[in-house]
Structure 1
Amino acid sequence: MIRVPRRLLLTLRLGEAPEHLPSLLACRRYGVAPADRIDGGPIDRLLRHHGGALRCTRLHNARTRHDQRPGVAGARRYDDIEQLTGVARVLRVLVQDDSHMPALLQALAQVATVEQVRPDRLSGTPFDGVATPGQPDETAAWQPRELIRLPEALGFEPGDPAVLVGLADTGVMASHQDLNPLRRGFDTVDLDATIAAGLTLVGDNTASDEEPDDEVGHGTGCAGILHAGGLSLPPGGAGQCGLTPVRVLGAALQNDKRVGIGALSNIDAGMKRLIDLGVKVINMSFGTPESALRADDTPPHQEVVRYALARGVLLVAASGNSGKEERYFPAAHPGVIAVGAVDQSLKPCGFSTRGAHVALSAPGRDIWTAGLSGYQRATGTSFAAPFVSAVCALLASYAQRRAMPLTPELAREVLVASARPFASAGVEGAGAGVLDALAALQALDARLDSLLEDEP
């Protein structure tokens, strides 16, 4: 796994984050200078000894904006959930020289005020499977949707515009003729040519901005499954729910093929902002294999996943396309709904990554969806996950229609309990079965009834 040169992520223990450290957003948007010191003690000494000069910011902005608490410093606007989950305490540190980075990381991990430290690495969509441009065949386009009874589910629950789905990916081609209007998104990618050894960065990768334009096609493909307008594609599975795209992955050429790639800090910053914007579901069709981490590395995205779950956000992630039994993150984090892929015969796809953490599977082979040149037929768990995200949005809409809360735990429970069997018995590592959209809504209806009956 490629390390971002000279950059590391440092999480301080609760109560140890100094107030003078500005947020990354404050530095980019308002011209605030990054800090050149952290604690004035052992952390600073180690950083300067092993890495020379340093520049540091908090990775995440506070949920409470400046105009909501004028005159209060940014470091004091983080609430209890931000502090306890750790997002308020994640620092992004840039050092002058990273030739001694392993020694620096090892030394920082021994400091009492440090909760965890890891290099800022690249993650992306190296497992995004196959995408072939073309014009959709109507029967073939409807088949995976009908397989999971999505049309019937949309008849049961059309979706609520107040329920928002966040799409953390390569961005979206908002002008696509077959996508419903999107909510305003943003871009957190900041890469440069020195980052991606063996890869050639293309397009807009140098600075985060407010335009999540897709230069890969991966995010647009996921958006077509979630939010298509029904022109040449079946209507999007999330129905009338809103869709907010964030570009957390830039574009790179790998063997003449465009892939999505982004730093872990880019991804986490985009996720945190989506959560603070009020999304109920986040689709994450990207991942980092556990085998790419150092033995003492903590799994990536840990703080932002905890934060999302604490805010009641439903997290859905592609399991991976390695065809092995292994763990990718964020899919393998507790509380995340990990999704494998099946074909049209309800058999797990050979490429689908397996494991005990996989919750269920969804169609992931030859899925007709939106593409940068019109339409594409896409294969991979990247395109199975949006079907589950869409149904999660319908579940949230139905719960809201009944004025009942939908927790991440309850959503996972009804999805697993309502899944239909695989084509053959004895399947292991692909979850409880295959997504059944209508059955999931019916199971939620029954669960909400039982919760009302249990009230005193």
Structure 2
Amino acid sequence: MNALHAPRRLLLTIRLGELPEHLPSLREVRQEGQPMAARIDGGPLDRLLAHHGGSARTVRLHSARITRLQRPGVPGARRFDDAEQLSGVARVLRIEIARDAGLPTLLRALQQLPVVERVQPDRLCATPFDAPARALREIDPVAARRPRAMVRLPQALALQRGDPSVVVGLADTGVVAGHLELSRRLRRGFDTVDLDAATVGDLTLVGDNTGRDEQPDDEVGHGSACAGILRANGAGLPAGGAGLCGLTPVRVLGAALQGGKRVGIGALANIDAGMKRLIDLGVRVINMSFGTPESALVADDPRPHEEVVRYALARGVLLVAASGNSGLAERYYPAAHEGVIAVGAVEDDGSPASFSTRGAHVALCAPGRDIWTCGLAGYACVSGTSFAAPFVSAACALLAAHAEARAWPLDPQSARDILVESVRPFGAGRASDGCGAGVLDAAAALALLDQRIDAALVAPT
């Protein structure tokens, strides 16, 4: 499934300084009725698109962080700031061509143009790559508390309750906003899914997949499960690990049926557009429990999400991603991007889970087996690195809140270093090679942050 792409759609990044100003943004097309552009440069780009793909229509994938109201009369392409330009998000085009048969040849030809920085199909990314959830109405309270206790979240929350101004972005399948555990716990979210039946091959789309509303309603359960770990109100589950920190859900993955089971699926453009908007809303942490394996890419393919990851890091956002559930030593993206905190999973005894994807890029692990959390209706018991990542995202939110409480800047690299240096050892059992430094210890991470701030404050200037 990961090798599929949205038919007749590609993503092309123009080199710095070469972006034409006349191209509308995707948001302008959807919300304001502007037509997609029928030409890009009036030269080699348009000729190649016409020759290999028939007619082509183009939009800028992302909108500028500075809005039209803030700079009236300035075209959107000129409102992007340095971080947007240098990271590349300002220069990503989503192109729709009339014919898909010539796409491989078209991609190779476009790669040869000096004006093109990178080009790729608008690939489909799926989640969960996890064990099916067990939907249950009654919770085992002892089992529900066990993973929280393993990573010492209760002790961490005693040290730092969280801050509502520190917001976690959840890029996933959306949430069940009316769930007993999530009601009144969430900030306003949004929906960037834009799929149709022709987009997803032999999968069957279900529910809302048109990308024409702002409601991040979960139709899979995956996003709600992650949200419960982060922000549950404690009605039946243990309270969410992010404490009082905010949570903004974005639905970047729609719902499809595969073998009778619902899965989340979204195009790279859907995901990256949701990520960019979260960053511009000022989230401090983004949880990314999805991924594309490197094995699904060919040698010259760009690595998915590269521009938006660079942009997030430039804005100081802490990025947390599930490492994958293949049980192999391999790289999934976005987890394998430099600067992203890649999270593997451990069993109840702290030993690495057999399904956890390994590699030198994995930073640490968190509980990922039989995690009690929110389901589409009631509760669910879930397994996978998708559900290990939110424990680390919660710890990142508490670190960011604690740093702000002490008026201290916390950058993504420092947060990663603190998490890695404060881990607890793996439990005895399976070999831990490629599983990172150890198991998350949220309380020790907060204590180490305090030590670092204290040391810096007394150091000679």
TM-score bucket (shorter structure):
over 0.9
For 1:146, the equivalent position in structure 2 comes to 149
1:170 is aligned to 2:173: yes
In the alignment, the residues of structure 1 paired with residue 122 and residue 459 of structure 2 have an alpha-carbon distance, to the nearest angstrom, of 47
Count matched residues.
456
Does the aligned pair in 1 maintain the 2:179–2:377 contact within 8 Å? no
Deviation at 1:454, TM superposition (A): 3.1
The 1-side partners of 2:258 and 2:416 are apart by: 35
Q: Do 1:365 and 1:379's aligned partners in 2 also have CA atoms closer than 8 Å?
A: yes
Identity across the alignment (%): 68
Equivalence for 1:383: 387
Separation in structure 2 between the aligned mates of residue 31 and residue 404 of structure 1, nearest angstrom: 44
User: In the alignment, which of 296, 320, 345 is matched to residue 292 of structure 1?
Assistant: 296
By how many angstroms is 1:126 displaced?
4.2
Q: Deviations over 1:372-392 (max 9, x none)?
A: 111000000000000000000
Residue pair 1:221, 1:369 contacting (<8 A) in 2 also: yes
Instruction: Pick closer, same or farther for the CA change 1:9–1:270 going to 2, 3 Å.
Output: same
Residue among 260, 280, 285 paired with 2:284? 280
Match of 1:340 among 337, 341, 344: 344
Q: Whole-Å Cα distance in 1 between the matches of residues 27 and 376 of structure 2?
A: 30
Q: Where do 1:20-419 residues align within 5 Å? A: 20-134=22-136, 135-179=138-182, 180-419=184-423
Task: Report the Cα distance in structure 2 between the residues aligned to 1:141 and 1:303, rounded to whole angstroms.
Answer: 38
Equivalent position to 1:437, from 435, 439, 442 = 442
| 1:206 shift after superposition | 1.6
Q: Please give the TM-score of this superposition, normalised by the length of structure 2.
A: 0.98
Q: TM-score, normalised by structure 1?
A: 0.99
Distance 1:40 1:451 in 2: 56
Shift in Å, 1:129: 2.1
Post-superposition offset of 1:450: 1.8
Whether the 8 Å CA contact 2:185–2:232 is kept in 1: the answer is no
The amino acid across from 2:161 in the alignment is P
Cα drift, residue 136 of structure 1: 1.1
> Distance in 2 between the 1:126 and 1:245 partners?
17
C-alpha displacement at 1:202, in angstroms?
A: 0.5
1:455 deviation in Å? 5.5
Q: Residues of 2 paired with 1:294 and 1:252: CA distance?
A: 26
Q: 1:89 to 1:142 in 2, by over 3 A?
A: same
Contact persistence 2:128–2:222 (CA under 8 A): no
- Taking the aligned partners of 2:301 and 2:131, their CA distance within structure 1 comes to 27
Q: Which AA in structure 2 matches 1:10?
A: L
SS at match of 2:393: helix
What code does the residue aligned with 1:341 have?
A
Q: Displacement of 1:453 after TM fit?
A: 2.5
Unmatched tracts of structure 2, length 5 or more = none
Distance change (3 Å), C-alpha of 1:202 and 1:455: farther
Corresponding residue of 2:457: 452
| Distance in structure 1 (CA, Å) of the matches to 2:14 and 2:72 | 26
Q: Deviations over 1:228-286 (max 9, x none)?
A: 00000000000000000000000000000000000000000000000000000000000
Q: Which amino acid aligns with 1:199?
A: L
Contact 1:130–1:380 (CA under 8 A) maintained in structure 2: no
In structure 2, distance between residues paired with 1:301 and 1:78: 19
Rounded to whole Å, the distance in 1 between the matches of 2:266 and 2:5 is 11
Q: Are the counterparts in 2 of residues 54 and 94 from structure 1 also a CA contact under 8 Å?
A: yes
Letter in 2 for 1:248: V
Preserved contact between residue 7 and residue 198 of structure 2 (Cα < 8 Å): yes
Q: Quote the offset at 1:448 in angstroms.
A: 1.2
Pick one of 396, 420, 425 that aligns with 1:421: 425
Q: Deviations over 1:326-377 (max 9, x none)?
A: 0000000000000000011001000000000000000000000001111000
Give the match's secondary structure for 2:446.
Answer: helix
Partner SS state of residue 154, structure 1: helix
RMSD (Å) for aligned C-alpha atoms: 0.9
CA shift for structure 1 position 208? 3.6
The answer as to whether partners of 1:36 and 1:55 remain within 8 angstroms in 2 is: yes
Q: CA deviation at 1:98?
A: 1.2
Q: Contact conserved, 2:128 with 2:386, CA < 8 A, in 1? A: no
Tell me the distance in 1 between the aligned counterparts of 2:148 and 2:387.
12
Task: Kindly provide the amino acid, as one letter, of the partner of residue 356 in structure 2.
Answer: S
Which amino acid counterpart does residue 149 of structure 2 have in structure 1? E
Gaps (5+ residues) in structure 1?
Answer: none
Tell me if the contact between 1:326 and 1:354 (Cα under 8 Å) persists in the aligned partners: yes
The SS at the match of 1:384 is helix
AA matched with 1:121: R
| 1:50 Cα offset (Å) | 0.3
Partners of 2:246 and 2:320 in 1: CA distance? 16
- Distance change in 2, residues 1:92/1:273 (3 Å): same
Partner Cα separation in structure 2 for residue 61 and residue 209 of structure 1: 17
Distance 1:401 1:455, change over 3 A: farther
* SS class of match (1:194): helix
